[in-house]
């Protein structure tokens, strides 16, 4: 589990109805798969190199929820993508999640993310992170 619901399970106060899972469907290169009947979204690690690297990072994780390190990488990537596409409500949710992870788990390093965003985008993510550390 990788979405806001995963963070709620970790103790976040943000409300969400979305459930996201990271999967690796090697039979498909479709990046996002939506199960309307169950209201579940799947992010296919086979559909994008960033998600593939997160999948590899989590290969030993047998829990229901992605590691907090993976969640920070994923939320920061989502923040950048939502900002780029003007999905401001989703960007605000991702920012809230980043701040929660940084504040509760003292996380700041995102080695995978750095390879997939520009320096300017990384600067914006770092602004969000530094706002927690003041």
pLDDT digits over 15-29, tens only? 988 899 999 988 988
Cα-flanking dihedrals φ and ψ of residue 35, to 5°? -100, 95
Q: Are strands 19-23 and 40-44 parallel, antiparallel or unpaired?
A: parallel
Q: Residue 45 is part of which domain span? A: 4-132
**Maximum Cα–Cα distance across the chain:** 46
3: left (phi over 0), alpha (psi -120 to 50) or beta: beta
52-111: pLDDT as tens digits: 999 999 999 999 999 999 999 999 999 999 999 999 999 999 999 999 999 999 999 999
User: In the chain, how many domains are there?
Assistant: 1
């Amino acid at each position: 589990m990788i979405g806001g619901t995963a963070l709620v399970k970790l103790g976040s106060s943000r409300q969400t109805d979305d459930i996201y899972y990271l999967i690796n469907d090697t039979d498909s290169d479709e990046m996002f798969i939506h199960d309307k009947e169950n209201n579940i979204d799947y992010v296919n690690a086979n559909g994008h190199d960033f998600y593939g690297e997160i999948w590899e990072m989590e290969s030993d994780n047998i829990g229901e929820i992605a590691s907090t390190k993976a969640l920070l990488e994923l939320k920061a990537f989502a923040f950048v993508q939502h900002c780029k596409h003007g999905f401001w409500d989703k960007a605000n949710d991702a920012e809230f999640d980043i701040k929660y992870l940084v504040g509760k788990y003292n996380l700041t390093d995102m080695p995978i993310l750095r390879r997939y965003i520009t320096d300017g985008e990384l600067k914006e993510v770092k602004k969000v992170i530094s706002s927690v550390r003041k």
